Amino acid sequence: MSLTRSEFKVLQALSNTGEPLTQSALSDDADLPLEAVDAALGSCTQSGLVEDGRITERGIEALEPYRVQNAIIMAAGLSSRFVPLSYERPKGMLRVKGEVLIERQIKQLLNRGITDITVVVGYKKEYFFYLAAKYGVKILVNDAYAEKNNSWTLWLARNQLGNTYVCSSDDYFTDNPFERYVYKSYYAAEYVGGPTDEWCLGTDPDGRITSVSIGGHDSWTMLGQVYFDRQFSKDFVPLLGDALKRPGANGKLWEAVYVDNLEALDMEIRRYPEGVIHEFDSLAELESFDPEFISNVDSAIFDNIVSVLGCRREEIRDFYPLKQGITNLSCHFTTDGGEWVYRHPGVGTELLINRKDEVAALEVAHEIGVDDTFVFEDPRRGWKISRFVPNSHQPNPHDPAQAGRMMRMARLVHTSGAAVENRFDFGDEARRYASLLRRRGPIDIPGYDEMAEKVARLEGCVRADNAPTCLCHNDFFALNFLVDANDKYYLIDWEYAGMGDYANDFGTFAVCDQLDEGEMRTALEAYFGRTPTEQEWRHNLAHVALAGWCWYLWALLKEAEGDNVGKWLYIYYNGTSSYLDKALALYGEA
């Protein structure tokens, strides 16, 4: 049978105690005025749902359609705003006030009799697997967590949506917000006075959500758990499926799908007082909630910073992610001694980079004055601390003046006389990446063998040039430059540095910054300080094709290791395919 909200609240309160309650106690427990309690008790008694102040079996049956069936805890995301701790473990695995965030939430659900719990995992998924044995939860893996937002997470769990709590693994509830029975679908909300960037809710007099805006003023904002009732789930899943088929769906939040369909989806607001629900969007927010967190957190990253800078843990602050490269992760932080960058090695980099050689190259770069940001790198584990350059930007490689500055810096490195033990050759590196790829199976890509044969012929031509060998950066392009407020240029990130053909840096520059042939010739003029000879032109153009091939195989290996390189895979391929035949023709090998 269908219950009114007041009848539901009275029956829910009675089911929680199993004992008769005074009308005053019912008014408090059910959050209803006395007259509403009196009316609901009367109708429930008349219907046989309540007898002698106790809920009957028929009353329990009447509550059954409102029983919570299960919970889905979303734990797949990267939590990129929670650097650097998210480099080490998922945010939901952090220990706050003595409890692991996701464990506290699971225990709160179990305490309300909700035992069917699914945890959807992705980033560092292995950290969550123990929960299945410890708490009996189910694990659902989202392999597309890096490319797709939480809409995809919810879509993977669509068959489990009914009377369902939808939660985030990193929420902290000071009071248990979960209930055995829920009357209607809702989104939890907290009031924010003044301006806010959160998702702000508008409602009708009955509490139904009628509008949502991103940002507002003096508003109730989305925060915490969500409850889907059966009807909401039935209506929502097809709309979610339709939304995921549209262009640009990968970055769409499920909440945005809901907002796009407010009229068709009936959900009300559930208001909570300040301090009950906590979503820690930054390390600073977590520290304000748990002042002992930094002192107690098990973090090798904090230990590393303290050991290098000689600071106290408590003074490490102001973390935020920097624009990520395609090899590593980096974040900004501050101590009393200044601003710094912490570089965390990316997925699979131990296969690609010799960190001992990188340290040697960084020390040389510091000595010759092209990168004085370097502070320390661990040659075994690959983490690095550098000085932060405030108000910096990358140069524009398509501006002749800025490209000229970059090429003259390459010339400075090449003619410095500096040397390191490591050698770097595009052909040797490409063969190494190919060998690592073949450990996973054949390289079954259309046109691969034909292109590899042409690359081998071009290598032979280039070696016959007997070009000068010198210290090269080898990852030389705009993203690895900084220009400070005084127009000083810094060439950073020396992971691939080594002794090699001087044209290595030009080849990577042309490929990665997608220069056209006119821009290439202008850049070479800046490098030589004159018009290059035809022999110099063909030698450098050949290195564009060789660089593209090397980094294309690098990108294939990164993808095989589970990292997504995105657009770069095609950029590298295109560098080879566009100039391989042209370079061979210049050597008379077409």
In a domain, 380, yes or no: no
- Checking if the pLDDT of 352 tops 60, the result is no
Shared-domain flag, residues 13 and 86: no
Q: How far is CA 14 from CA 3, 11, 30, 310, in A?
A: 15, 5, 9, 60
Burial-class residue 189 by CB neighbours within 10 Å (0-12, 13-18, 19+): buried
- Checking if the pLDDT of 348 tops 60, the result is no
CA distance 462 to 50: 91
pLDDT of residue 350: 54
In a domain, 291, yes or no: no
Shared-domain flag, residues 80 and 124: yes
Shared-domain flag, residues 125 and 212: yes
Torsion of CA 195, 198, 204, 206, to 10 degrees: -120
* Residue type for position 561: E
- Mind listing the pLDDT tens digit for each residue in 487-524? 999 999 898 899 999 999 999 999 999 999 999 999 99
Average pLDDT over every residue of 536-548? 98
111-71-222 Cα angle (round to 5): 100
pLDDT of residue 168: 96
pLDDT of residue 145: 85
pLDDT of residue 323: 63
Within 8 A by CB and 6+ apart from 239, the residues are 257, 260, 261, 264, 265
Name the pLDDT band for 351 (thresholds 50, 70, 90). low
Total residue count of the chain as it appears in this document: 590
Domain that holds residue 50: 5-66
Neighbours of 536 (CB within 10 A): 19
Within 8 A by CB and 6+ apart from 101, the residues are 91, 92, 93, 94, 95, 169, 170, 171, 172
- Mind listing the pLDDT tens digit for each residue in 216-273? 999 999 999 999 999 999 999 999 999 999 887 777 899 999 999 999 999 999 999 9
Shared-domain flag, residues 21 and 103: no
Assess contact for 403 and 397: CB atoms under 8 A: yes
Shared-domain flag, residues 35 and 125: no
Shared-domain flag, residues 61 and 14: yes
Average pLDDT over every residue of 18-42? 87
In a domain, 55, yes or no: yes
Number of structural domains the chain divides into? 3
- Mind listing the pLDDT tens digit for each residue in 62-86? 999 999 999 999 999 888 778 888 8
Query: Does residue 485 sit in helix, strand or coil?
Result: coil
- Checking if the pLDDT of 326 tops 50, the result is no
Joined together, the tokens standing for residue 253 give 């939040």
Shared-domain flag, residues 209 and 129: yes
Assess contact for 285 and 170: CB atoms under 8 A: no
Shared-domain flag, residues 399 and 543: yes
What residue spans of 181-324 are helical by DSSP H?
A: 230-244, 254-260, 283-289, 293-296, 300-309
CA distance 480 to 504: 15
Query: Does residue 30 sit in helix, strand or coil?
Result: helix
Shared-domain flag, residues 120 and 244: yes
Chain center to CA of 235 = 30
Average pLDDT over every residue of 143-154? 88
Please give the share of the chain, as a percent, with pLDDT higher than 90: 77
* 521: CATH: 3.90.1200.10
With 0.85 as the threshold, say if the pTM is over it. Answer: no
Shared-domain flag, residues 445 and 561: yes
Assess contact for 216 and 196: CB atoms under 8 A: yes
Shared-domain flag, residues 215 and 250: yes
- Checking if the pLDDT of 551 tops 50, the result is yes
> Between β-strands 99-100 and 95-96, what pairing exists: parallel, antiparallel or unpaired?
antiparallel
* 164: CATH: 3.90.550.10
- Mind listing the pLDDT tens digit for each residue in 430-465? 999 999 999 988 999 999 999 999 999 999 999 999
